[in-house]
Copies of this chain bind each other. A is one copy, B any other.
Amino acid sequence: MKNKSFLRACVSVMAKLPKVNRHQRTRADHSTELAEDYVEAVAELIEAHGSCRVTDLAEYFDVSHVTVNRAVARFQRAGWVTTKPYGPIELTKQGTQLAESSRRRHAIVYQFLLALGVDEKTAATDAEGIEHHVSPETLQRMEQFAKQANSKSR
């Protein structure tokens, strides 16, 4: 019975797994996840078009402009972006910082997946979700691995 032994293997691996509040951390990650994607997108769109409007973000994320509008209002309250009525969306100092660290992390995760041998499209998709759950320590390991793989292939 191959299945039975696999089951036992799983059990033994997961039993050793330190279970101290890891679900709380994951829930916390999710609460900032959308904000991270938004500030990243705002930064990208400003660089690409010179400004970022509600409709740009709606198209970018493939959601309705109404959804964007309410999200932007939340993130304004949180201090990451600023907007005047009917005006473009800009990043605050904090927002810029968050965007930069998020983009750095996102880029590292993406390049890491490429270095691991994952194809570009899959790497892009997976990185979009994975990035928000990567701790500084893991990120550092990923960066190191990607750099190493890069230098070898050159």
The interface of chain A, by Cβ under 8 A from chain B, is: 6-7, 9-11, 13-14, 17-26, 29-30, 37, 44, 47, 60-62, 100, 103-104, 106-107, 110-111, 113, 116-130, 132-135, 137-138, 141-142, 145
Given A25-B129, A30-B30, A129-B25, CB of A10 within 8 Å of CB of B107 = yes
The interface centre, meaning the residue of A19, A21, A22 with most chain B CB atoms within 10 A of its CB, is: A22
Whether the Cβ atoms of B122 and A142 lie closer than 8 Å is: no
For the complex with contacts A14-B103, A118-B141, 10 further pairs of A-B residues with Cβ separation under 8 Å are: A9-B107, A17-B124, A23-B60, A116-B138, A118-B137, A122-B138, A123-B138, A126-B135, A129-B132, A130-B133
